[in-house]
Structure 1
């Protein structure tokens, strides 16, 4: 569900009240816990990126864009919390999967890097905050660059 908005506040203002409150609280949780260096931007959703000041080459898919790290969006049937690091760091994925049931009694619903929150009353904000603290921009860039090197080797 694409919402045309120039700021996170405008994005949130276009949501139904229950979704707006949950996204607002998730956004505060992310802002309060994300290590310094990530930058918040809008790209059809609220996105946290590695800014060009830290990584001038940009995103390998489109070098005119910064490297994406995390995103927050209201979809048709759920709130989507995209976290690229959870896919890039298997030990963090394992930790998250083991911790999730300790925080909420709903089944974890996720894809590769997308955690879906279908019930706004059952979002584990504390766990999301902990997850946000686990990867610095520098950690993510090392893993990202290793991924790119591996990709180049496989294509030869």
Structure 2
């Protein structure tokens, strides 16, 4: 896949490394897609026919990596929907990374790609299967 349309040259290597670590650690069953703005990992309609309630007929989104103007963002719906997973991630980040966590509800922002904790992101994405994500999604 050609990522050069998704991110500038200065952040391309970090972006590719982030995608590679996610690909290596994400549990089986998610599907990798792109929409021209970023890389997305979804629960395919073949697994979860109900799909995303906001856009019927669309696979259930789980994780996205998008290069914004001033940062690279990882959008992880698991940390948004699971307080225990969020707590684990916040504590692990604080113990492993020297920079302050810049995070919204599901958005983890990396303004300086030199400080992306690749191994921690790999561990984070390994912690929720498609079945667990669907169960969390349906319980909301």
Tell me the residue number matched to 1:88.
81
Secondary structure of the 1:21 match is: helix
Unaligned runs of 5+ in 1: 1-8, 148-156
Equivalent runs, 1:50-129 vs 2, <5 Å: 50-129=43-122
d(CA) in 1 for partners of 2:123, 2:112: 20
d(CA) in 1 for partners of 2:26, 2:97: 22
Q: In the alignment, is the contact (CA less than 8 A) between 1:18 and 1:120 conserved in 2?
A: no
Moved over 6 A (4+): none
**Length-normalised TM-score, structure 1:** 0.86
Tell me the residue number matched to 2:11.
19
Q: In the alignment, is the contact (CA less than 8 A) between 2:45 and 2:57 conserved in 1?
A: no
What RMSD over aligned residues (CA atoms) do the two structures have, in Å? 0.9
Deviations, residues 9-43 of structure 1 (Å, cap 9, x unaligned): 32x21332231111100000000000000000112
Indicate the structure (1 or 2) with the bigger Cα radius of gyration. Answer: 1
Secondary structure of the 1:128 match is: helix
**Length-normalised TM-score, structure 2:** 0.95
Q: In the alignment, is the contact (CA less than 8 A) between 1:37 and 1:137 conserved in 2?
A: yes
Unaligned runs of 5+ in 2: none
Q: What is the deviation of 1:104?
A: 1.6
Q: What is the deviation of 1:103?
A: 2.1
Equivalent runs, 1:29-40 vs 2, <5 Å: 29-40=21-32
